[in-house]
A and B are shown apart, each in its own frame.
Chain A
Amino acid sequence: MSAPSTWTIAGVRQALRTKKISARELTQDFYARIEHRNPELNAYLALSPERAYAQADRVDAAVGRGEALSALSGVPVGIKDVISTRGTRTTCGSRILENYTPAYDATAVERLEGAGAVILGKTNCDEFAMGSSNENSAYGAVRNPVALDRVPGGSSGGSAAAVAAGLAVAALGTDTGGSVRQPGACCGIPALMPTYGRVSRYGLIAFASSLDRIGSFSTTAADSAAVLAVIAGHDPNDSTSAPVPVPGYAADLEKPVRGLRIGVPEEYFGPGIDPEVRAKVEAGITLLEKLGCQRIPLQMPHTDFAIATYYIVATAEASSNLARFDGVRYGLRVHGATLGEMYRKTRQQGFGAEVKRRIMLGTYVLSAGYYDAYYLRAQKVRTLIARDFADAFQKVDAIITPTAPTPAFKLGEKTSDPLQMYLADIFTVTGSLAGIPGISVPCGKTASGLPIGLQIFGPHFSEGCVMQLAHAFEKAGGFSI
């Protein structure tokens, strides 16, 4: 059969239930699309057809026996390549893990598959999730399916491009400073970063442990809710995962948004923001007001310090986490006469320029004599940024901002200036530092057709309310405003 160009999770379930298509046929259909589009987009780094077809056949057998479908039965998904998949190469976009195949699945992957999802393969990303354009992947840049001369955003650029191009119904990404939300904005799809601790990080190869979160890409807010309902919840294998009950997100989606108080912080609309982005996000806020939300102006005075804080905290944690890549236990080893020489040669050849830059910066800010001036000070400013949010959530139920200051930029445009690249995350790192959830939803396009993202933040564990607003915004036509 000829499949619709954009599947949703509900659409897949309906088609399977009414036997319009089998899970195997759907899987074949997606692999055919990938074969056709991936050479141009470079969104997937590895495919796992054996695993996918085995799972599809299990779903078809269950349908044949007349069993009830699971939440994600037969849904084709992509997994960012920093998330471990048993038996499928997991490179983190790095040469140092070029031949690494994990012996276990990340908890999020295990839960997706347990709910019936079909894992198509691994998606491209910036090396160790460090980047905002996907240009730091050792396996080549990803192209934005909306505009092929543009970046898809990063670091989860492959996952965003795959979903936007119809090469997966949903995908997992990871967000440390904006790496799910910003590529979602660049590619024009919903992209959810849950609360820190909401989704287990077990099997996520760590970049910055106090910031890293697994999140999702999908084509509708309802699909974001369906994926989160599966992957959320406490995991004894991650001591930072929160033992907080997971509500029924799907039921909350349809609740009216009338009366919700939405905060609009002035610091996110200052100079430096693209005028078309500002205009569309303003129009998006007006739409939410029409739906009955109450707009409340906010001031969040420490916003301007977030990038500086983030790049100290994140690189410090990265320098420690990436110390494990030394050629001893996994991945690349470059021969050296001594143990030290082996470490140095392996890391020199295995890591790309941005990863080395961040390891150096992180090592510097943690080193004797500089710790107090940089790392300790940044941890204190992090408290102030979190406090800005805590104070704001005394007055509002959610905060609305642009996701990124500009639409997707051109490939190569920012690669020569690391600091300019870092500033692409200026509106996303704040929520990362505070540990709160956020979603980026499409909010129209620029005159030249580039997607714009509107970001919704909520208090800790308020994903239900955040997605409720996203869903109401989508139903009211906000995605194409």
Chain B
Amino acid sequence: MKISREDVLRVAELAHLELAPAEVATYREQLDSILTYVAKLEELDVSKVEPMAQVLFRAENDAHPELREDTPRPCAIADAVLSGAPDAAKPFFRVPKVLDR
């Protein structure tokens, strides 16, 4: 298998997912099948190929999107944003205690 039980647990930890024991086995099997499939990319010689870092089309006149001016604008949305939060204490989002002292 391309992926071990420890890999699955490590990835879950990195992704902040808590997996039930049965899920660990299922995901291991499914991820292994997908990783085995995608290994077909190894058939290609890509040593002289640049990665496609940008999708954006650039016309010959170089009509790329310009970055807009960094001009301050009023942004009075704090109330609307906080009203959607699960636990807000305006103007903050409240979370479980992070520091212990």
List, in ascending order, chain A residues with CB within 8 A of B89's CB: none
Min distance, Cβ B79 to any Cβ of chain A, angstroms: 9
Question: Is A331 touching B86 in the complex (CB atoms < 8 A)?
Answer: yes
Interface membership of chain A positions 204-238, coded 1 if the CB is closer than 8 angstroms to chain B and 0 otherwise: 00000011000000000000000000000010100
Question: Is B16 touching A340 in the complex (CB atoms < 8 A)?
Answer: yes
Q: How far is the CA of A197 from the CA of B96 in the complex (A)?
A: 40
Question: Is A383 touching B65 in the complex (CB atoms < 8 A)?
Answer: no
Q: How far is the CA of A347 from the CA of B23 in the complex (A)?
A: 14
Contact partner of B37 (CB less than 8 A), chosen from A100, A340, A419, is A419
Question: Is B31 touching A383 in the complex (CB atoms < 8 A)?
Answer: no
List, in ascending order, chain B residues with CB within 8 A of A377's CB: 41-42, 46
Determine whether B72 belongs to the interface, using a CB cutoff of 8 Å to chain A. Answer: no
Determine whether B1 belongs to the interface, using a CB cutoff of 8 Å to chain A. Answer: no
List, in ascending order, chain A residues with CB within 8 A of B3's CB: 364
Q: How far is the CA of A359 from the CA of B14 in the complex (A)?
A: 10
| Known A240-B65, A342-B96: A197·B17 in contact at CB below 8 Å | no
Which of A3-11, A65-73, A304-312, A439-447 lies at the interface with chain B? A304-312
List, in ascending order, chain B residues with CB within 8 A of A383's CB: 49-52
Give chain B interface residues in 81-98, CB to chain A under 8 Å: 81, 83-87, 93, 95-98
Determine whether A61 belongs to the interface, using a CB cutoff of 8 Å to chain B. Answer: no
Question: Is A348 touching B38 in the complex (CB atoms < 8 A)?
Answer: no
List, in ascending order, chain A residues with CB within 8 A of B39's CB: 308
Contact partner of A344 (CB less than 8 A), chosen from B17, B44, B51, B97, is B17
Question: Is B63 touching A319 in the complex (CB atoms < 8 A)?
Answer: no
Interface membership of chain A positions 322-356, coded 1 if the CB is closer than 8 angstroms to chain B and 0 otherwise: 01001111111100111111111101100100001
Interface membership of chain B positions 1-45, coded 1 if the CB is closer than 8 angstroms to chain A and 0 otherwise: 001000110111011111100010001001101110111111110
List, in ascending order, chain B residues with CB within 8 A of A380's CB: 46, 49-52
Question: Is A345 touching B15 in the complex (CB atoms < 8 A)?
Answer: no
Min distance, Cβ B58 to any Cβ of chain A, angstroms: 9
Question: Is B55 touching A364 in the complex (CB atoms < 8 A)?
Answer: no
| Known A196-B56, A243-B65, A343-B16: A364·B11 in contact at CB below 8 Å | yes
Min distance, Cβ A321 to any Cβ of chain B, angstroms: 12
Question: Is A363 touching B51 in the complex (CB atoms < 8 A)?
Answer: no
Min distance, Cβ B12 to any Cβ of chain A, angstroms: 7
Q: How far is the CA of A351 from the CA of B38 in the complex (A)?
A: 24
| Known A240-B65, A461-B57: A382·B30 in contact at CB below 8 Å | no
List, in ascending order, chain A residues with CB within 8 A of B67's CB: 239
**Which residue of chain B has its CB nearest to the CB of A416?**
B30
Question: Is B16 touching A344 in the complex (CB atoms < 8 A)?
Answer: yes
Q: Which 10 A-B pairs have the closest CB atoms?
A: A379-B51, A333-B86, A103-B80, A380-B46, A344-B18, A308-B38, A460-B57, A382-B52, A435-B55, A380-B49
A-B contact pairs, 9 of them (CB 8 A): A196-B55, A327-B86, A330-B85, A339-B96, A356-B17, A359-B15, A360-B17, A364-B7, A376-B51
